[in-house]
Amino acid sequence: MLKHLFTIDSNKILDIDLTGIDLQRVPVHVAIIMDGNGRWANIRGKARTFGHQAGAETLKAIVKVANCIGVKIITAYAFSTENWKRPVSEVDFLMNLLGGYLTNEIEEFNKNGVQLRFIGSRRGLPDEILRKMDYAAAVTERNTGIILNLAINYGGRDEILYAVKTIATAAVAGQIDVDNIDTNIFEEHLYTKGLPAPDLLIRPGGDMRISNFLLWQIAYTEIWITDIYWPDFTQEYFIEAIKAYQRRERRFGGL
Ligand code: FPP
């Protein structure tokens, strides 16, 4: 099998088999529901939090390979508006994991040209996390590689309501003419403003649902689901998903 080597930075090299991938037709934007962390940990007799920790490592590996093959944006579902319903200990663990990630990975992100962005509601997030998010976004803002768009305290319905309220407020103030509200104006009021819709949505963990992720944006997104749990999701699986995507015919409602 033909292997291609890609240099990521001075001391890290990826060795990924890219046979069968058309590098001219790589999806621009890939969204990922990082599911299966808890089950992955359970079958190993470990606490669910162990799975989240492993899942955070998986995300790093997937961002690297995606950056390498020319994906421009990864949107990863790290914490949903519904995840607050989990036990306080798990919520606290996820917040700490996120805080640590934002502190410890900045240097590596900058080295690899990764730009960090966030979508979701700031309401309810601890101040320390908000500060770290703002700092991470600011210090990676000028990077020109892949955008890692982390969905934190994100819900698709919450995002749509946020857009509706913002537009309604502008309309009441006379800044927007109701007759002019169209998909473009609506999208300018979503958290994902300025980003194209995902081309591909990957869901590990085997569940066949959307879980309130990017409800507006995924109208014509290709979906790829695998039973593999997120911590076991390797760079090779990511390549497999890209190949499956490239075999699809996208018609966007046309013929
Ligand atoms: C869903 O799996 C996963 C989450 C709710 C959290 C995802 C978070 C991470 C992968 C790590 C944090 C990310 C960063 C950027 C530090 P689940 O726990 O619901 O799995 P299960 O369905 O097997 O229970």
pLDDT for the residue numbered 190: 98
95-to-50, 57, 129, 144, 154 alpha-carbon distances in Å: 14, 15, 7, 27, 14
Q: Could you read off the pLDDT of 99-112 as tens digits, one per residue?
A: 999 999 999 999 99
Nearest residue by C-alpha to atom 1 in ligand 1:
35
48 CA closest ligand 1 atom index: 18
101 CA closest ligand 1 atom index: 16
Measured between alpha carbons, how far is 55 from 73 in angstroms, rounded to an integer?
Answer: 19
Q: Could you read off the pLDDT of 235-252 as tens digits, one per residue?
A: 999 999 999 999 999 999
Q: What is the DSSP letter of 224?
A: E
Q: How confident is the model at residue 4 (pLDDT cuts 50, 70, 90)?
A: low
Q: Check pLDDT > 90 for residue 2.
A: no
Query: Cα(207) to centroid of ligand 1, in Å?
Result: 14
Query: Cα(154) to centroid of ligand 1, in Å?
Result: 13
Ligand 1 and 129: CB distance under 6 A = no
Residues annotated as catalytic are 35, 83
pTM of the model: 0.95
Q: Could you read off the pLDDT of 184-204 as tens digits, one per residue?
A: 999 999 999 999 999 999 999
Pocket test for ligand 1, best of 35, 80, 84, 228 (most atoms within 8 A of CB): 35
Q: Which two tokens stand for residue 215?
A: 């409800």
Nearest residue by C-alpha to atom 8 in ligand 1:
78
Q: Could you read off the pLDDT of 111-121 as tens digits, one per residue?
A: 999 999 999 99
Nearest residue by C-alpha to atom 11 in ligand 1:
56
Measured between alpha carbons, how far is 137 from 126 in angstroms, rounded to an integer?
Answer: 17
Query: Cα(2) to centroid of ligand 1, in Å?
Result: 34
Helix (H) or strand (E) holding 135: helix 127-140
Ligand 1 and 150: CB distance under 6 A = yes
Q: Could you read off the pLDDT of 128-138 as tens digits, one per residue?
A: 999 999 999 99
Spatial neighbors of 41 by CB under 8 A, at least 6 apart, are 47, 48, 49, 50, 51, 52, 54, 231
